[in-house]
Amino acid sequence: MGEQRAREVEELARSRRIIVDAYEVERRRIERDLHDGTQQYLVAAAMKLGEVQLAPAIQDDPMLRELLAEARASLAAGLESLRETVRGIHPTILTERGLAAALDDVAASSGAQVRIVAPNPLPELPEGVLAASYFFATEAIANAIKHAPGASVTVLLAADDDLRVSVVDTGPGGARIVPGHGLSGLRERLAAFGGRLTISSPDGGPTQVAATIPLLLFRGESGVAL
């Protein structure tokens, strides 16, 4: 009976790994298409507009020159927005330096009191789990900053068989899961990975939003970094 149960757990982990891997492959495809396709078309259009602006007929028409300048500025803003989107789909630092370092980068650029705490080194995380935990943490941080401005925010990272990401703010509390909104969306995205979301937010605070994400370990694998 015990051996059968172990096989069932391993098969569940294997099937979820396939789902997570497929999710990450699709994310990378979108990132590649935006970078190599859409972005390149926008760059080419900006260059064409620049060439048109230099034409003698344009130089002699102040109104047309101003319209072209505005169009080029809007295109540049759209291109920068797209680049931010591409960077946000899977930040390079996340792959190169890991979850804690990537969240340290988020904390540094947040403009708020955000602290990342990882008491012990995290194990090597499957790519899909890495992405899911990163986007959970960044959205939870953004929610805390939005709904509890001026509060301090602490993100605690720990792992055993699961990865645990806890985001705590010292705001006034009272956060609730409302279907179709913020925390509800976080819960649904975690569920796709077999993860769980818990929330504690008494009136007066603090608020804790925590994710538990399975590492999808096979028998004999460890969730503790050596």
- The domain total for the chain is 2
pLDDT over 60 (residue 153): yes
Same domain, 104 and 17: no
The domain boundary, picked from 89, 107, 133, lies at 89
Backbone φ, ψ for residue 68 (5° rounding):
-65, -40
Closest C-alpha among 139, 123, 127 to residue 181: 139
pLDDT over 70 (residue 218): no
Tokens of 56: 């003698």
Same domain, 112 and 192: yes
Q: pLDDT, tens digit, for every residue of 90-129?
A: 677 887 889 999 999 999 999 899 999 999 999 888 777 8
Lowest-pLDDT choice from 18-32, 85-99, 126-140, 155-169: 18-32
Question: Between these two residues, 142 and 86, which has the higher pLDDT value?
Answer: 142
Q: How far apart are CA 78 and CA 46, in angstroms?
A: 11
pLDDT over 70 (residue 217): no
Q: How far apart are CA 169 and CA 143, in angstroms?
A: 10
Question: Between these two residues, 50 and 83, which has the higher pLDDT value?
Answer: 50
8 A C-beta contact, residue 168 and residue 153: yes
pLDDT given at position 142: 92
8 A C-beta contact, residue 175 and residue 147: yes
Q: Which residues contact 87 (CB under 8 A, 6 or more apart)?
A: none
In a domain, 37, yes or no: yes
pLDDT given at position 225: 44
**C-alpha to C-alpha distances, 179 to 128, 152, 182, 192, nearest whole angstrom:** 25, 27, 8, 17
Same domain, 108 and 202: yes
Q: What is the mean pLDDT of residues 65-90?
A: 78
CATH of the domain at 110: 3.30.565.10
Query: What is the value of pTM for the model shown?
Result: 0.65
Q: pLDDT, tens digit, for every residue of 38-61?
A: 778 888 888 888 888 888 888 888
Domain around 44 = 2-89
The domain boundary, picked from 57, 89, 121, lies at 89
Question: Between these two residues, 112 and 177, which has the higher pLDDT value?
Answer: 112
Q: What is the mean pLDDT of the chain?
A: 80
Same domain, 55 and 105: no
